[in-house]
Structure 1
Amino acid sequence: MIRDIHRFSQYVYDLLIIGGGINGAAIANLAAGHGLTVALIEKGDFASGTSSKTTKLLHGGIRYLENFEFDLVKESLQERIIQMKAAPHLVKPLSFVIPVYKNDRRPLWMMKFGVTLYDFLGGEHSIGKHRFLNPSEVKGEIPDIETQGLQGGVTYFDAQMNDARLCLENVLMAHERGVHITNYVEALSFLKENEKVIGIKAKGLIRNIDFEIKAKNIICALGPWTNTFSEKNKDELSNKVRTTKGVHIVYKGNFSKNAVLVTNRDDKRIFFVIPWQGNSLIGTTDTDFKGSPDSVTTEKEDVAYLLREVKRVFPTVDIKEENIITTFAGLRPLVSAQGSPSKISRKHGITRTKDGVFWVAGGKYTTYRVIAMDCLKMIYGRTFPFLEEFMLYGSGLIEESSQELARHYGLEEEIVDHLKNTYGTRYSDVLKLTKQDPSWKSRICACSPAIAAQVVYAIKFEMAFKDEDIIWRRLSLGYLNCPTRQCFKQIEALRKRFIK
């Protein structure tokens, strides 16, 4: 992808999308797949908001069963398998264990019924059969688990994803289908004619260039920025979002080979301890957030809350704050409703204001494809059929063995496997760069198999502009335990070489 903001003023698009998170990216991808002319702008980097600050799960949402949202769970389980087929390099099955203790809010019989119902709703889309465990079997699955009061447990399966790259693959596929796309361009205000919006005034933030974009239809997929932008433009948006904050910790090492789902003893919220890139992802919190989406941070109280619960569940593990690799906080843009944050539905809503602008809010990451199609139906007043096979940028079967490729390119087999798991069938595009400059075959750091060619690829073909775009959303290096930070230094050096 090439960032060319000058072309945006030369067209009147069928559809302009403001927001480059997963919903905006998917709308662009599917709209272009149905032959529409589309433009997409994002004021930061793609997936730099909520879409890269998730629990990294593509799941049905087992906890929504107690809210009786069976339709949402069933739909999510169907979408989960579609994503696993479209992006097996980014979406992989993951086993979960739920230990159940005496006096837990959700007793063992309820958890057994829950996982049975979960698999029933998944039907042919299930990816693994649940099991019931006695206390010793729970201990076998999670050796360091607290055993006092342990009555048993259950296992079930869901999927884990690389959220930022899954969003990026929708962006790249949209670009492949002809969508004009750019990051680091901010929508300033609406252009109106006869009280109807016909476009926007925009600013290119890299070179401080003001320009206009016109379109027949505009949809705002702004996530937690929805209320801020609608109020700024005095758009009478009735269906506002309620933002809740979710905090995660990345902790050194693995507590278990399985993901562990635990209920907090105080507020009864569910949280996860999940294997993630050789370490553990712990989260999440769910609290209302009233501040600016541009300034959401992880608070000490959030970290203390999560560590306290982990210590309770794994009492024999020496939990230390200095073993935290990183923390991150994201905002859920839920459709506004009354009640505690964890009880609010994760269903999406689409609204059209009087001036003709469409707004999408809420939804689960897992159902992004359904959300995108519902948006198109709302905008154009007709049902768009799902494309026969949902394709992403790295979709397809990889036939070449890693061993053969490693020998051909003079690389370690581990590096080739890493490229396949990052780019899918597009791994070869990265390998081709090593022919241009053999020095790009080298690892950028001892902490991971990432090579210099990936940094070059991110800059030249994935529109990465800042170091953080590469570190967090192209290569996912920020989650790794790297004492030297040599990878950060290498990325900075290569970025300065290619971006003046």
Structure 2
Amino acid sequence: MPSVPLSPRYRADALQKLSSQEVDVLVIGGGVTGAGIALDAATRGLSVGLVEARDFAAGTSSRSSKLIHGGLRYLEQLDFKLVREALKERGLLLTKLAPHLVRPVKFLVPLKHRVWERGYIGAGVMLYDTLGGARALPRHRHLSRRKAFEVAPSLAPDALIGAIQYYDAQVDDARHTMMVARTAAELGASILTRTRMTSLVREGDRITGAHVQDLETGVEFTVKARVVVGATGVWSDDLSKAAGIPAPFTVRASKGVHIVVPKEAIDLDTGLILRTEKSVLFVIPWANHWIVGTTDTPWDLSREHPAASKADVDYVLDHVNAVLRKPLTHDDIEGVYAGLRPLLAAKAAETTKLSREHAVANPIPGLVLIAGGKYTTYRVMAEDAVDVAAKNIPGDVPRSRTDRLPILGGDGYQSLWRDRRSLGLPVERAEHLLQRYGTAIHDLLWLIQEQPELGEPIPGAPDYLKAEAVYAVTHEGALHLEDVLTRRTRISIEERDRGVTAAGEVAALMAPLLDWDDTQRQHEVDNYLSRVKAERAAQEEPDDTAANATRLSLATALVPDGPSVLPTPQPTRESASARRAHRTW
């Protein structure tokens, strides 16, 4: 499949195309579900547009636990259908669809009670190994107390009397979402970020498109569509209001907070899954780091910037420290991130009891809404949404084929991985790039061949090359410094200074590609630094209300940001940046 770079030129062409041609499907929302819908529709031969107010995966889809899993705890809730479906998708992602981005990870389940607990949890894990026919990973194994401490020396002496080890999978969620969107673009979809739907177009009882604003320029335009599909996560109810209809289902936001600590802070040869009074807590290996989380609390404050409070961070530390020989402290923390899970509301008092299954509705002709679900089942959600959308489109629409289509970088990956020592790079660097780009690594190697200095590490973020920052702009649709530091790379949570040192260098690499002058380049740096300051300050506040207020008061709104829907008045005259957007890059 030839690569279609999401470059500034591509963006200008996509803006022109969507403002002048009707599409079969217009997707609102650029998280993993929206990107998956765009890809599914494109594979069926439909013309597709996607608009996202911020960046790919800027909301929930970049702030997950980064796991591709069936949800072991859902077995306890007897939600066999959800677990079976998720495990089937896990197997597809590992072996066919995204082997370059999804990889196995092993977890240890500590046992605290003799006899009954091993039998109870062991039976559940055995079922987990077989449901859905997902046999892509090794089966679980039972460990004695001695064997458990061999793979988990950091655990306290009283943390377990034995353990069970099982396998799941993990993913860089933001990169995966972006790669799904790029794959849709290669099949002809017009994919746009920093474009907000301001209102829906309605003719009689039918939705026929949307009014959209390019947040980079302030220019407004109308996209005509046979069907609009809303995949806006925690903003789902707002989309119903924009259509002037009662919400077919209600979505509640649940905040999940994770911390990132260095690998040496916890001596483990395995991930951990720990039971808490509310849910479960994961300790997840992440390159040279551990991700520890998550919380699960109702959230009804700013959905654009959910803030982690000191109470959230302390909750995570207290629960993981309950099983560690050497406790983690605030000084160990390299990064913190908070995200909002869109949960379908039910008659449950606590968000943790709400189902993670998704719902699809076609409340009026020309409008389809989807919400709920979990990251792992994004492809199934997308297929269901397009199946419903197809009923709004004249003629026969083919069935989905995304279960057989590798996303960009996946086709031929295994062969390239076996030959990774022949790529002319240190093997660790080659592995790092292959697990981020797959076969698209050749684009990076070409950039470095043309400009050898791009093969140097980014100052302040030595795990990443300068070429990756350039490639983020020329091929991956990055328009702002935050896009690169937070989502194309994970510098913002992996470096102890949250990317402050790297910000200036990365902005300098991006500037000539996006036609930034010195003033704009400095604005980008200042904006990023203000966000880091705001997030750090929020994490010192005692509760959600104070953290939210601090986060919003300190963040400098230099970059257009906000939800996927709802109008925000902006100037409509064409600015200098608008003229730049229409140049050929």
**TM value normalised by structure 2:** 0.81
Distance 1:291 1:149 in 2: 37
- Equivalent in the alignment of 2:108: 97
State the Cα distance separating 1:124 from its structure 2 match. 4.8
Determine helix, strand or coil for the equivalent of 2:364: coil
State the Cα distance separating 1:95 from its structure 2 match. 0.6
Match of 2:472 among 455, 458, 470: 458
Would the aligned equivalents of 1:376 and 1:384 in 2 still touch at CA under 8 Å? no
Amino acid at match of 2:383: M
Would the aligned equivalents of 1:444 and 1:486 in 2 still touch at CA under 8 Å? no
The 3 A distance-change label for structure 1 pair 25 and 101 is same
Match of 2:489 among 458, 475, 482: 475
- Equivalent in the alignment of 2:454: 440
Would the aligned equivalents of 1:260 and 1:273 in 2 still touch at CA under 8 Å? yes
State the Cα distance separating 1:98 from its structure 2 match. 0.4
Would the aligned equivalents of 1:445 and 1:487 in 2 still touch at CA under 8 Å? yes
State the Cα distance separating 1:412 from its structure 2 match. 3.7
Determine helix, strand or coil for the equivalent of 1:3: helix
Determine helix, strand or coil for the equivalent of 2:89: helix
Which one is further off, 46-55 or 233-242? Answer: 233-242
- Equivalent in the alignment of 2:224: 214
Determine helix, strand or coil for the equivalent of 2:401: coil
Distance 1:447 1:241 in 2: 38
Distance 1:201 1:220 in 2: 14
What is the root-mean-square deviation in Å for CA atoms of aligned residues?
2.0
Q: CA offsets per residue over residues 363-384 of structure 1, 9 Å max, x none? A: 1111111111111111224772
Amino acid at match of 1:3: R
- Equivalent in the alignment of 2:568: none
The 3 A distance-change label for structure 1 pair 113 and 181 is same
State the Cα distance separating 1:485 from its structure 2 match. 4.4
Determine helix, strand or coil for the equivalent of 1:282: strand
Which one is further off, 85-94 or 394-403? Answer: 394-403
Distance 2:423 2:159 in 1: 52
Q: CA offsets per residue over residues 465-493 of structure 1, 9 Å max, x none? A: 11111112112222323558443322111
Determine helix, strand or coil for the equivalent of 1:244: strand
State the Cα distance separating 1:269 from its structure 2 match. 1.9
Q: Which runs of no fewer than 5 residues in structure 1 stay unpaired? A: none
Match of 1:30 among 29, 36, 40: 40
Distance 2:314 2:356 in 1: 27
Would the aligned equivalents of 2:174 and 2:488 in 1 still touch at CA under 8 Å? yes
- Equivalent in the alignment of 1:259: 271
Match of 2:54 among 44, 62, 72: 44
- Equivalent in the alignment of 1:146: 156
Determine helix, strand or coil for the equivalent of 2:155: coil
Match of 2:508 among 489, 493, 496: 493
Amino acid at match of 2:336: T
Percent identity, aligned pairs only?
Answer: 33
Distance 1:412 1:136 in 2: 37
Match of 2:188 among 154, 158, 178: 178
Would the aligned equivalents of 2:44 and 2:398 in 1 still touch at CA under 8 Å? no
How many residues end up aligned between the 2 structures?
492
- Equivalent in the alignment of 1:3: 11
Match of 2:99 among 88, 94, 97: 88
Amino acid at match of 2:111: V
* 1:245 aligns to 2:259 (yes or no): no
* 1:201 aligns to 2:211 (yes or no): yes
- Equivalent in the alignment of 2:334: 325
Match of 2:410 among 391, 395, 415: 395
Distance 1:388 1:128 in 2: 22
Match of 2:287 among 277, 285, 304: 277
Distance 2:90 2:159 in 1: 34
Distance 1:485 1:28 in 2: 35
Q: Which runs of no fewer than 5 residues in structure 2 stay unpaired? A: 1-5, 392-396, 517-585
Would the aligned equivalents of 2:43 and 2:187 in 1 still touch at CA under 8 Å? yes
Would the aligned equivalents of 2:94 and 2:136 in 1 still touch at CA under 8 Å? no
Which one is further off, 141-150 or 278-287? Answer: 141-150
Would the aligned equivalents of 2:226 and 2:366 in 1 still touch at CA under 8 Å? no
Determine helix, strand or coil for the equivalent of 2:27: strand
Determine helix, strand or coil for the equivalent of 1:120: helix
Amino acid at match of 1:390: L
Determine helix, strand or coil for the equivalent of 1:63: helix
Match of 1:133 among 143, 149, 168: 143
Distance 1:355 1:295 in 2: 33
* 1:405 aligns to 2:423 (yes or no): yes
Amino acid at match of 2:105: L
Q: CA offsets per residue over residues 61-90 of structure 1, 9 Å max, x none? A: 100001111111111111001111222221
State the Cα distance separating 1:228 from its structure 2 match. 2.7
Distance 2:137 2:428 in 1: 27
Distance 1:153 1:383 in 2: 48
Distance 1:131 1:192 in 2: 57
Determine helix, strand or coil for the equivalent of 1:44: coil
State the Cα distance separating 1:165 from its structure 2 match. 0.9
Distance 1:235 1:247 in 2: 33
State the Cα distance separating 1:440 from its structure 2 match. 1.4
State the Cα distance separating 1:134 from its structure 2 match. 2.0
Would the aligned equivalents of 2:114 and 2:161 in 1 still touch at CA under 8 Å? no
**TM value normalised by structure 1:** 0.94
